[in-house]
Chain A
Amino acid sequence: MREVCIIGCGMTKFGELWTKSFRDIFVEAGLKAIDDAGVDHIDSMYVGTMTSGLFVGQEHVGALMADYLGVAPIPALRVESACCSGGMAIHQGILDIASGNSDIVLVGGVEKMNDGADATYALSTAADQEYEVYQGITFPGLYALIAQAHMHKYGTTRQQLAQVSVKNHYNGSMNPNAQFQRKVTLEQVMNATLVADPLTILDCSPVSDGGACLILAPLEIARKLNKPIIKIIASEAATDALALHQRKDITTLNAVKVSAEKAYKKAGMKPSDIDVAEVHDCFTIAELCIMEELGFCEKGKSGKFVEDGNTALDGKIPVNTSGGLKSKGHPVGATGAAQAIEIVEQLRGSAGKRQIKNAKIGLAQNMGGSGASSVVHILKKLND
């Protein structure tokens, strides 16, 4: 298996992109990534999108994007794993290069959520249609069920949940690509409109348009480029029961746990080796649970861990320096790719005001549904 590096990346601003179409959003990100990498061709591409059929009535996305990116007739595949689609597109691209099948691969994701579709319904298709959605559950509802169980079992507080949103909005206020470049206070989060108790609108990631792409290449090609070498030292995925109620413990995201354990093993690392992490904070409770599954803190203690500032920009392990899904925005198919881009920026030292000093190893964790799929990437900056 060949070793794989990230040699370029590009993304659109995330937000309500009324003047840009589904295809233009992806192509804009793709062209930026190709330009950043400085490559003159790509061999194949993988496009993550969760439910473009429901959002804009468009399937057959691989071919469409290859056409509009001007790279047809290369092979192009759409990858779908709900909100984990972007991360899984990266995973597929890595396998393509590692196997020796392709050299230069474009991976990424896109979602156009603001074109008039019922976003609550479209997103709910990532849950069990017959035994969850049929009963009237929503995605904020599913994560609210996890939050209530976590609060009941471990004493996690409403304020600790809100702290995740406050932190991520603070980070996002320094990200020019973020949908919400503004800070929020604990009081604002806790007193905002309830969506599904105990979660308010400021516990929830927004409905967003956006695209993000990366260019992957084998290590020997990356070495010839005159820029920092960002190597992917682990890319591991896992699954769990689709329906939340089918899981043994409602507060455990086992797919995250398994994908992280496999990734640490592959990289020969432990949680304390990670300098910076981007995680799937689709709802504030998700970031708390993920802290536990990634091994950043003990099971049940994530509330206090975040409250004590351990995951802030100047904390022990800065988490979601980009603003996370909460503040940067969550165009579901693009999210996994955008997370990897933030880690690349941090390792390159080009993250501006959000820069973590001397970041050498970063982790990106992308998740689908209420946690039924997860992929973890660990990136390392090689010595020049």
Chain B
Amino acid sequence: MPSPRYHREIPQRYRLEAEKCKKCGKILFPPRLICPECGSKNFEKVILPENGKIITFTIIRVAPQQFEAEVPYAIAIVELENGVKITTQVVDCKPEDLEIGNSVKLVFRKIQEEGKTGIICYGYKAVLV
């Protein structure tokens, strides 16, 4: 991907930076220009909690090219302690052992690489706690 596109998302992917609506309190991840709940345009920066629970998951067995070497891998929707939900891989476990309700923690990992000369892409993945 073009490096500016990658660079723009670094605050979210590396540091879990989100925004909290000053009017209604909704936490937006990623940040947006307008709150979808109340229409406010005033936000303050907050950092997402690292801990949460698996609310649903699957095991990917047919992957796009850049993830082919990793199959089978687990992907879950995790609800963090502040209610924000994210899609993330769950790693360092046997995918078959996962259950809905499992507690997880977000860690910093390599996500994908763009061939031999492209960007190595990082971000968050979840591990069981």
Report if B73 contacts A (CB, 8 A).
yes
Bound complex: CA of A55 vs CA of B38, how far in Å? 39
Q: List B residues 38-63 near A (Cβ within 8 Å).
A: 55-63
CB–CB B100/A152 < 8 A: yes
List chain B residues, Cβ under 8 A from A134: 9, 13, 111-112, 121, 123
The total of chain B residues at the interface (CB under 8 A) is: 31
Q: List A residues 195-212 near B (Cβ within 8 Å).
A: 195-199
Bound complex: CA of A375 vs CA of B55, how far in Å? 28
CB distance from A27 to the nearest CB of B (A): 32
List chain B residues, Cβ under 8 A from A132: 87
Bound complex: CA of A137 vs CA of B56, how far in Å? 13
B94-121 vs A: 1/0 string, CB under 8 Å? 0000001000000000011000000001
List chain A residues, Cβ under 8 A from B73: 136
List chain B residues, Cβ under 8 A from A243: 87
Of A118, A140, A141, A198, the most chain B CB neighbours within 10 A belong to A141
Report if A266 contacts B (CB, 8 A).
no
List chain B residues, Cβ under 8 A from A147: 58
List chain B residues, Cβ under 8 A from A194: 59, 61
Report if A145 contacts B (CB, 8 A).
yes
Interface size of A as a range: 20 to 34
Question: Contacts A118-B64, A131-B30, A136-B70; is A148 near B58 (CB within 8 Å)?
Answer: yes
CB–CB B123/A148 < 8 A: no
Bound complex: CA of A150 vs CA of B86, how far in Å? 18
Bound complex: CA of A144 vs CA of B57, how far in Å? 8
Question: Contacts A130-B30, A141-B75; is A135 near B88 (CB within 8 Å)?
Answer: yes
CB–CB B64/A245 < 8 A: no
CB–CB B63/A148 < 8 A: no
Closest to B8 in A: A130
Q: List A residues 158-206 near B (Cβ within 8 Å).
A: 193-199
Report if B85 contacts A (CB, 8 A).
yes
Report if A19 contacts B (CB, 8 A).
no
Question: Contacts A121-B65, A131-B87, A136-B75; is A152 near B60 (CB within 8 Å)?
Answer: no
CB–CB A145/B58 < 8 A: yes
Of B13, B56, B60, B85, the most chain A CB neighbours within 10 A belong to B56
List chain A residues, Cβ under 8 A from B75: 135-137, 141, 145
Bound complex: CA of A37 vs CA of B11, how far in Å? 56
CB distance from B116 to the nearest CB of A (A): 19
List chain B residues, Cβ under 8 A from A118: 64-65
Report if B67 contacts A (CB, 8 A).
yes
Report if A149 contacts B (CB, 8 A).
yes
List chain A residues, Cβ under 8 A from B86: 131, 245
CB–CB A195/B61 < 8 A: yes
List chain A residues, Cβ under 8 A from B121: 134
Q: Which of B56, B57, B112 contacts A136 (CB 8 A)?
A: B112
CB–CB A137/B62 < 8 A: no
Closest to A197 in B: B59
List chain A residues, Cβ under 8 A from B60: 136-138, 141, 196
CB–CB B67/A136 < 8 A: yes
List chain B residues, Cβ under 8 A from A64: none
Closest to A241 in B: B36
Bound complex: CA of A124 vs CA of B86, how far in Å? 17
Given contacts A134-B9, A136-B70, A250-B55, 19 further A-B contacts (CB under 8 A): A118-B65, A121-B65, A124-B64, A133-B64, A135-B75, A135-B89, A135-B125, A136-B63, A136-B67, A136-B73, A144-B58, A145-B58, A145-B75, A145-B77, A149-B56, A196-B59, A198-B58, A244-B87, A246-B85
| 5 intermolecular pairs with C-beta atoms under 8 Å apart | A133-B64, A134-B121, A136-B89, A148-B56, A148-B100
